[in-house]
A and B are shown apart, each in its own frame.
Chain A
Amino acid sequence: MVLDRGFSYLLLLAFFFLILFSTNSFAQDPSDTLAPESVTNVDAFDTPNDNGHSITVSWELSSDDGAGKNNVVVYEVYRSDSPEGKFEKRGMVPAGENTFEDQGAKEKDNANYLPSHKNFYYRVRAKSDGLFSDSEISLPAYAYGQWYHTGKTPVLVAVILFSVFAITFITLARKGKLFYIRPLAGIEAVDDAIGRATEMGKPILYIFGLGTADMIATIASFTILSRVAKKTAEYQTPILIPCYDSVVMAVAQETVRAAYLEAGRPDMYKEENIFFLTSMQFAYVAGVNGIMLREKPATNFYLGKFYAESLILAETGSIAGSIQISGTDEIAQIPFFVAATDYTLIGEELYAASAYLGREPVLLGTLKGQDWGKAVVIFSLILGALAASFGFQFFINLFRIQL
């Protein structure tokens, strides 16, 4: 028993030695009785690219940090509003680091308030376990806000570039220039699907998913609905739209009413066919499932923002024997739609479909602008990959964004 325990202690000891050797951190010198050397060249300056309530402090490491006595554990940073005043602790960083951002609050009533345009003095304390030494006091520094964030230039360039593309092609389109847009399988299927519903004498089901009216996917879907509704008015096929969001419902009602008016069949419009179901994800799914199984619609459209319910809807729709056309920009759900529906508008294709079906030359113009953006992206990819292969780092740095 005694031997056993002794043996396990030995093992443990051996184990710790192993760990210590393997991490090469054996330099812990037994000089704990001496304070580490203080840090030098303490410099305080306004933190760049911020709203003006933060000062950055930098210094040169103590000579006992990573070398010498090697006993620095942390650096503590102290601040005061006068060199003689009382210094209060603002925070600490572990040994090996030589900057600290003194981030204050912007609200006056906050205890951590750090006013702009007021001078402060800093001091850094190098600390070992129990002992410490202070640096000299820094020159005064004050915080102020900047009008432009220099780290975000790549984004600004991209914003300008893409906006110029879009506006150029919108202007060209307004002047009457027509642009070629290739056919998309899902869009081609729309007209056929409505025709099929007419032949079968069954309704069409249009689902926006769980998106609210402000989401881009929902906005794209409104445009597509406007076109689909016009067709259904021409073919005299009823269209059912159970809604998840009451605002989406109101907009959908107005869109469909306008489309029927445009098709010259305002008498066909039935407001009760566009109704609010519930705004609870799975309760909504259950409700839509019920409609599918009862009404057996000829065609189901799933266009908009979808989450986990995508597969349940698509599977139930296939039980009901409907043709299904889907499209979403929710990447995680695209696989389910691709696997379980007949046609899928993949991500960007959904927005393209909306521009395409909107039939306005201006919308097609922005699509053309979008393609120019894509060309720039592809070009940078190829150029960047080649540059990186030959060891040029500058190209990657062009895309580096400071957040």
Chain B
Amino acid sequence: MHPSPDIGIWIGGLLTLGIFSFLYGDNPYYKFCEALFVGVSAGHWFITLFWTVFIPKLLGNIGIAIHTFRTEGFAAGMSDYMHWSYIFGGILGFLMILRLFPKIGWISRWSLAFVVGTTAGYYFINYLVSNGLMQIQKTILPLTSVGNIILVVGTFCGLIYFFFSKEHKGAFGGLARVGIWFLMITFGASFGYTVMSRMSLLIGRMDYIFGIWLGMIR
């Protein structure tokens, strides 16, 4: 056994054990690690957004706009809407914070409305294209092999299952039933497949504890 001399490795190891202790049950050691995790992840978000959104996107663009107004005059500045209009983004964002004050909190609905509108617009097109049309295009296959037939029939029956305005009875119900089987195969197979990737994460942590930290493996 050759434990690592690096104090940082020890901290990482002790925190790893602390989180694992949750598997036995809730306890103060775990609570400490959890509290720390909540704090540092809040800090990590704070810093990441500060240096990747607020400074470059918001202040950066508004700064360029101010510079243009100063050096090239009002008209040139106004025509450069790609920069100065960021001030609106900033205002809408700031309104979000007003949620903290119940009296005027309702005004944050304006920013929420903008965000919801953006998502609705994006999703409408993106899902239609990549989840809809592209998938249909990939499923239009010549029925010349067992695999292709299964792909087309499976997708067909699965969609029948998702019909809401028709009762699942008779032949239609039979197709919907086949559709459920396909969905169940899908869910079972994805479960089995995901097991693999989750296990490799755990392997990584175990290797950290016994290898890098405690030096018991080599």
Contacts and interface: CB of A to CB of B under 8 A. Distances in A.
Interface of A: 154-155, 158-159, 162, 179-182, 184, 212-216, 219, 246-247, 250-251, 278-280, 282-283, 286, 290, 293, 331-332, 334-336, 338-339, 346-349, 352, 356, 367-368, 370-371, 374, 377-378, 380-382, 384-389, 391, 395-396, 399-401
Interface string B147-159: 0000010011001
B36 to A, nearest CB: 10
Contact of B165 (A349, A367, A385): A367
Given A182-B163, A246-B99, A401-B129, 5 more contacts: A181-B164, A216-B120, A339-B187, A374-B163, A388-B141
Contact of B119 (A181, A215, A401): A215
A280 B42 contact: yes
Nearest to B19: A282
Nearest to A247: B112
A219 B168 contact: no
Contacts of B26: 290, 293
B16 to A, nearest CB: 13
Contact of A283 (B34, B120, B142, B186): B34
Interface in B48-106: 96, 99, 105
Interface in B132-170: 132-134, 136-137, 139-144, 152, 155-156, 159-160, 162-168
Contact of A378 (B45, B115, B156): B156
Contacts of A400: 137
B194 A335 contact: yes
A158 B133 contact: yes
A262 B167 CA distance: 32
A374 B127 CA distance: 14
Given A214-B119, A396-B137, A338 B168 contact: no
B128 A339 contact: no
A219 B116 contact: yes
Interface in B102-122: 105, 108, 112, 115-116, 118-120
Contact of A367 (B41, B141, B152, B164): B164
Contacts of A212: 115
Given A283-B38, A370-B164, A381-B136, A216 B123 contact: yes
A335 B188 contact: yes
A385 B143 contact: yes
Grouping DSSP codes into helix (H, G, I), strand (E, B) and loop, the B interface class, with mixed when no group exceeds half, is helix
Contacts of B160: 378
A80 B56 CA distance: 34
A213 B191 contact: no
B144 A389 contact: yes
A338 B187 contact: yes
A382 B156 contact: yes
Contacts of B152: 381-382, 385
A253 to B, nearest CB: 10
Nearest to A334: B187
B28 to A, nearest CB: 13
B22 interface: yes
A283 B34 CA distance: 6
B181 interface: no
B216 interface: no
B125 interface: yes
Closest 5 CB pairs of A and B: A384-B140, A335-B187, A214-B119, A399-B137, A388-B142
A182 B165 contact: yes
Interface string B190-217: 1100100000000000000000000000
A386 B105 CA distance: 58
A304 B124 CA distance: 18
B128 A280 contact: no
A391 B132 CA distance: 24
Contacts of A162: 128
A247 B99 contact: yes
22 contacts: A158-B132, A159-B128, A214-B119, A216-B119, A216-B123, A219-B116, A247-B99, A279-B45, A334-B187, A348-B162, A371-B163, A374-B162, A380-B140, A381-B139, A382-B152, A384-B136, A384-B140, A385-B139, A385-B140, A395-B140, A400-B137, A401-B133
Contacts of B188: 335
Contacts of B164: 181-182, 184, 352, 356, 367, 370-371
Contacts of A280: 37-38, 41-42, 45
Contacts of B17: none
B75 to A, nearest CB: 15
